[in-house]
């Protein structure tokens, strides 16, 4: 087997492994029934709705947003950070 063929074989194997392994783990809330979903503190139940184009979306369970740790004025917070525009200085 030539060096070029070995290179192609190794490259194909590495690319295959990269595409097979999941990038992120599945949500622990996905496909849960409503009773189980509302009992978990990390999940929330989303009611069904209709989109503007008329498509009907069934109710489902989803994970709550992750909390970000941020430093605000020297204090660490565990709350979700919402960036607000700077307030004008008082006159």
Is 38 a domain residue? Answer: yes
Sign of the CA dihedral 46, 30, 57, 59?
A: negative
Tell me if 59 is assigned to some domain. Answer: yes
- What does the DSSP assignment read for 3-62? HHHHHHHHHHHHHHHHHHS-SSPPPTTTT--HHHHHH-TTEEEE--EE-TTS-EE--EEE
Domain assignment of residue 14, given as a range:
3-65
pLDDT of residue 63: 94
The structural domain count of the chain equals: 1
What was the pLDDT predicted at 51?
A: 95
What contacts 16, CB < 8 A, 6 or more positions away? none
State the pLDDT at residue 85. Answer: 59
Q: Which range among 12-16, 26-30, 69-73, 83-87 has the greatest average pLDDT?
A: 26-30
Residue 81 lies in a domain: no
Cβ-contact 19, 30 below 8 angstroms: no
What are the tens digits of pLDDT across the range 20-69? 655 567 889 999 999 999 999 999 999 999 999 999 999 999 999 887 76
Give me 52's structure tokens. Answer: 């503007």
């Amino acid at each position: 087997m030539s060096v070029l063929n070995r290179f192609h074989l190794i490259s194909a194997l590495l690319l295959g492994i990269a595409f097979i392994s999941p990038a992120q783990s599945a949500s622990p809330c996905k496909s849960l029934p409503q009773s189980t979903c509302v009992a978990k503190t990390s999940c929330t139940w989303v009611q069904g709705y209709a989109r503007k184009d008329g498509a009907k979306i069934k109710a489902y369970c989803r994970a709550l947003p992750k909390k970000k740790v941020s430093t605000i004025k020297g204090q660490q917070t565990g709350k979700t950070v919402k960036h607000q525009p700077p307030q004008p200085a008082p006159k």
